[in-house]
Amino acid sequence: MLRKVLYIDLTSGESFIQERQELFEDWMGGTGAGIKLLQEECPSGTDPLSPEAPIILSIGPLNGIFPVATKTVATFKSPLTGELGESYAGGRLSLAMRFAGHEAIVIRGRADRPSYISINDSKVEIKDATSIWGIDAQTTGVVLREHETGVGRRSIIRIGPAGERLVRYAGVVVDTYRHFGRLGLGATFGSKRLKALVISGTEHVDVPDARRYKEVYNRLYKTAVQTDVMEKYHDIGTSVNINVLNWLKGLPTKNFILSSFPEGEKISGEMFAEKYLFRRLSCAGCPIGCVHIAALKSAFSTHHEFEVRKVSYDYEPIYSLGSNLGVESAEGILQLIDVCERTGLDVMSAGVVLSWATEALEKGLITTSETLDVPMQWNNVEGYSRALENIVTAPNEFYQALARGVDYAAEKYGGRDFAMALGKNEVSGYHTGPASIVGQLVGVRHSHLDNAGYSIDQKAAKKPMDPERMVDELIREDNSRGVFNSLVGCLFARGVYTEENIIDSLGAVGIVKTGEELQDLGKRIFEEKYKFKVQEGFDLSHVRVPKRFYETVSLSGSVTPETVEEMLRIYRKKRGWS
Ligand code: SF4
């Protein structure tokens, strides 16, 4: 397999392809190749919104070849945190990159006018996007579907107005229902005047040992569809966690003032499924189909004129725009998700920013003159919809501050104790205990998905673990996810890809690795990412933990600053950091 990187310069309009066999041999692909390319392309201190800041999209050796190896990783300098930006998306992108023959795409520079990139195999064109600049992310997809070739093997990724206007947590919509949601990739697109990227390909993928390939493929496929992975993610989907975490007192509610939501049943996954579920979809190459789409019916005129909007939902948006804002209806949450989809905002950051603003207003840190009379109050869906639109259009200093993230807004207006960010990234929907907090602090992208601290807390709630054991688990996950994310599989199916299955599937495409080599790779990838983070100013000894985490009882009971500090001390020691 020839392993190539496509380089595109938006300033000059030029592009070229380079074989980078050594890069992929040493770093596998996906996140391993992504971080090395970022180090090559992004000098220390680069402004994340400058032409010099690169966008790197990369896949791994199994994408498009084995089931559930469906993701693409974007690596960039985050406009939100100022350090490592890393985000994963499914859809058809990894398949389209595979068929176009590019394992990584590096985008440099800034176009002189709104543009989009069109890639078909090795042909790259930079096209005028003036007529779609300012248009919402969904309509942009509809327009490009009409204009571009490659149906069936094509992926369309695009930003909405939030990315164009450089909201620091703007995302990139991928094939309508998937996203590069976190850490502001949409703003990086916007800063390059890059509205979209369309990619398709016709290349053939050879596997060296067809018989072995078939055997391993069938084994992985069967494991995916015959184990509880299928039941867990396909049936109700991740939103099944709303009821579970609510009962266990781990569901953040009203900006983490509470850890359970008395109205939780009304916004449970079961309720969404019963009343709004319209269909389920899959990323290309996945037999599970966890993408749940709701039909949201809304009146647009008198005399019973309705439109039906299709809105995807899962656990995180229901937490961030639901329980976290005290929203008591599934329909209200779908309306707020829909605003984020159209404008291209990351739902998690947007929800946390609004919940901080609601509390800041209640406490008198801001007034209605800042909110421009928008009623930011728990459960006020109309008010929150207007506030989301204002974050994008930024009509005054207050909304400009909200567009920079909750850490920045709280620095300016006060309320840091309840500004729910860790490592400057708005937090995910788990108030499960110390491993979740520490996991997001130490994680390379400050995400719950870096090391699943929330899951370690839940295990510890059943069978107590001391801080050292929890840290060991975090480190093990940090490292092993580095390997899996260099493949780049869907984390929902990480149980399918055991070490043995990874070795076998790599063997079937001609890559020979031992268990020790994989473990070493995971550790090296983690270290390279930390090297970049530290270079850009991240310092684990100066991270902020919002006091609210210690005030509200979690699923594991009260968390104390001493426990968190002890775990951080053990973590640094085990990593060999002073
Ligand atoms: S489990 Fe869901 S997110 Fe993962 S690849 Fe399948 S459809 Fe996509």
Helix (H, G, I), strand (E, B) or coil at 97: helix
Structure tokens at 332: 């209200």
Averaged pLDDT score across all residues of the chain: 96
Amino acid making up residue 451: N
Alpha carbon distance 444, 428 (integer Å) = 15
3-state secondary structure 184-225: HHHHHHHHCCEEEEEEECCCCCCCCCHHHHHHHHHHHHHHHH
What residues line ligand 1, using a CB cutoff of 6 Å? 68, 70, 90, 233, 282-283, 286, 288-291, 490, 492
CB contact at 8 A, 315 and 492: no
225-235 residue pLDDT tens: 887 777 778 88
Burial class, 122, CB count within 10 angstroms (exposed 0-12 / middle 13-18 / buried 19+):
middle
Work out the pLDDT band at 84, boundaries 50, 70, 90. Answer: very high
Ligand 1, atom 4, lies closest to the CA of 490
Determine the average pLDDT of the residues in 47-51: 98
Question: Which pairing describes strands 305-313 and 421-422: parallel, antiparallel, or unpaired?
Answer: unpaired
Alpha carbon distance 352, 332 (integer Å) = 16
Residue 204 is predicted with a pLDDT of 86
The verdict on whether omega for the bond into residue 488 sits within 30 degrees of 0, i.e. cis, is yes
Residue 90 alpha carbon, nearest atom of ligand 1: 8
Residue 231 is predicted with a pLDDT of 76
Determine the average pLDDT of the residues in 285-293: 93
Determine the average pLDDT of the residues in 479-490: 96
Q: Which residues pair with 210 in a beta bridge?
A: none
Determine the average pLDDT of the residues in 486-513: 94
Whether pLDDT at 553 is above 90: yes
Structure tokens at 401: 């501050």
526-547 residue pLDDT tens: 999 999 999 999 999 999 999 9
Pocket test for ligand 1, best of 220, 286, 312, 496 (most atoms within 8 A of CB): 286
CB contact at 8 A, 296 and 331: yes
What Rg, from alpha-carbon coordinates, does the chain have?
Answer: 22
Alpha carbon distance 532, 503 (integer Å) = 29
Pocket test for ligand 1, best of 63, 280, 282, 449 (most atoms within 8 A of CB): 282
CB contact at 8 A, 92 and 106: no
Residue 422 is predicted with a pLDDT of 98
Residue 301 is predicted with a pLDDT of 80
13-29 residue pLDDT tens: 999 999 999 999 999 99
Residue 285 alpha carbon, nearest atom of ligand 1: 5
Residue 399 is predicted with a pLDDT of 98
Determine the average pLDDT of the residues in 430-457: 97
Determine the average pLDDT of the residues in 265-291: 95
Q: Domains in the chain, please, with CATH?
A: 4-200 (3.60.9.10), 238-402 (1.10.569.10), 432-495+514-575 (1.10.599.10)
Task: Report phi then psi at 89, rounded to 5.
Answer: -140, 150
147-198 residue pLDDT tens: 998 888 899 999 999 999 999 999 999 999 999 999 999 999 999 999 999 9
Distance 84 CA to ligand 1 centre (A): 25
Residue 70 alpha carbon, nearest atom of ligand 1: 5
